[in-house]
Amino acid sequence: MTTLDESLQEPGLAASPNRLSAFLAPRLGGLPRAFWALWTGTLINRLGTMVEPFLGLYLTTARGLSLAQAGGVMTVLGAGSLGGQFLGGTLADRIGRRRTLLLSTLGTGGAMLALGYAQGMVALVAAAALLGLLMDMFRPASQAMVADMVPAADRARAFGLNFWAVNLGWAVAMVSAGTLARTGFHTLFWINAATAAAFGTLVWRAVPETRPARPAGADADPRGGFLDVLRDRVMVGYTLAAMAYVFVLMQSMTTMPLAMREHGLGPGTYGWVIAINGVVIITVQPLVNAWLTRRDHSLVLAAGMAVVAVGIGCTALASRPWEYAVAVVLWSFGEIMAASVLQAIVAGLAPDHLRGRYSGLYGLAWSGGFMLAPLGGTQLLGLGGSALMWPACGALGLAAAAAQIALGPAVRRRTAVQPDA
């Protein structure tokens, strides 16, 4: 006989797993096993991303370079990253996504150690150029691989999960790197190299090649290169709008600490204020990603760009830590919105045989925006201080959102998910 306590408890026990399944299914369900292997590799790789944020400090302290020399080495690294995006996109389409990923991740491990042990300016520049070329070469291949293996209706959700993994790994890496750096910078280089190699090993063991097979017959064999991508006016316009958005977003990493210093706020305050961005993304993005990806992608992206622009623009009103924190929370919500659909739109615009190159051009928006952000932001800050720099960047962000709205009809026509036959 069932007791009263049992009759009360059993429905609850049954309902709890059902509620959990109902919560997880639209967020995590329906994605192939190979995607989760790639996702795990992405997380591992990001957990070890410890050298880049401390590279300037390493070059000026451990290697005794001047600020100008250290800046030159880091510029070479950035230039190599630009080349890596193009090369990675080309190789992903020509030799395959898997081989490109293996070349990039395993090569990054070796190049990371080469930079860590390089002596002299010539050796440092050469190692930085090689590392810059290899370390971002995997990105177009990884993005093309997700587009290959995940159905169009689920791509935005899959890219959103990758975005969450990147931010989780980055947050853990930043906390860990600060402590590990005290044991010596070489520790950071070895961890960075090991996690990059672990990513490649996981791809080698668990992720098959996904590049679509070419049709039989020479006449049916699709050919193409970056010129074909550059002839796509929608994609070029989309890339330029994305680059403007990245330029605005990256002010939080480049000029915000300088602006905060004008109000007597030091690096420690900036550290916890900017950490709020990671906390917001890690906690909020999993809750809203599935909902956002079901909305019109162009409108979600335009709204996200606009929210980031307003949040960055409002930073001009901040002078105390909590005011900067409020601005960070605001643009973090916009970043979540934009990130939920940015890569899915690229995958939808790209023909199957050019997915790597389209992802490479999209990667240029990030590498280029990241390189231009400190140059433009510091110039604006020097000309008119925070009162000029933040509103100007906010206006640029709103212009990017307006451009995305203008591109919206063309993007919808090109990326509409076709119903199953």
Residue 130 has what pLDDT? 95
The per-residue pLDDT for range 405-417, each reduced to its tens digit, is 999 999 999 887 5
| pLDDT value of position 13 | 45
Higher pLDDT, 233 or 20: 233
Q: How far is CA 332 from CA 289, 335, 385, in A?
A: 14, 5, 23
* pLDDT range class, residue 62, cuts 50, 70, 90: confident
Question: Is a pLDDT exceeding 60 seen at residue 10?
Answer: no
pLDDT at 274: 85
Q: The pTM is what? A: 0.84
421: its two tokens:
């036959």
Report whether pLDDT(2) > 50: no
Highest mean pLDDT among 186-200, 246-260, 363-377: 186-200
d(CA 85, CA 121): 25
Instruction: Over range 169-191, report the average pLDDT.
Output: 82
pLDDT band at 22 (very low <50, low <70, confident <90, very high): low
Residue type, 150: V
- DSSP annotation of 48 reads T
The stretch 273-285 carries a mean pLDDT of 90
The yes-or-no verdict on residue 40 having pLDDT over 50 is yes
Residues 6+ away with beta carbon under 8 Å from 315? 256, 259, 324, 327, 386, 390
Per cent of the chain over pLDDT 90 is 56
Give yes or no for residue 4 having a pLDDT over 80.
Answer: no
pLDDT digits over 101-123, tens only?
999 999 999 999 999 999 999 99
- pLDDT, position 23: 62
| Rg (alpha carbons) of the chain, rounded to whole number | 22
d(CA 315, CA 312): 5
In this prediction, residue 218 has a pLDDT band, given cuts at 50, 70 and 90, of very low
Q: Are 197 and 109 in contact (CB under 8 A)?
A: yes
Here the tokens at position 60 are 């000026």
Question: What's the whole-number mean pLDDT along residues 263-288?
Answer: 87
Look at residue 215 in the predicted model and tell me its pLDDT: 57
Any idea which of 178-187, 224-233, 282-291, 327-336 has the lowest mean pLDDT?
A: 178-187
Two structure tokens written together for 110: 């070796």
How far apart CA 196 and CA 84 sit, in angstroms, is: 16
Output phi, psi for 30, to 5 deg: 80, 5
385: alpha, beta or left? (left if phi > 0; alpha if psi -120 to 50): left
Residue type, 352: D
- Amino acid of residue 164: W
Calculate the average pLDDT of the chain.
87
Give the pLDDT confidence score for residue 24 in this predicted structure. Answer: 64
In sequence order, the 6+-apart residues with CB closer than 8 A to the CB of 190 are 113, 116
The pLDDT of residue 239 is: 96
Position 342 scores a pLDDT of: 94
Give the N- to C-terminal CA distance of the chain in Å, as an integer: 52
- CA–CA distance, 143 with 364 (Å, rounded to integer): 14
Whether the predicted pLDDT of 391 surpasses 60: yes
Number of H helices, E strands in the chain: 19, 0
What average pLDDT does the segment 314-327 reach?
94
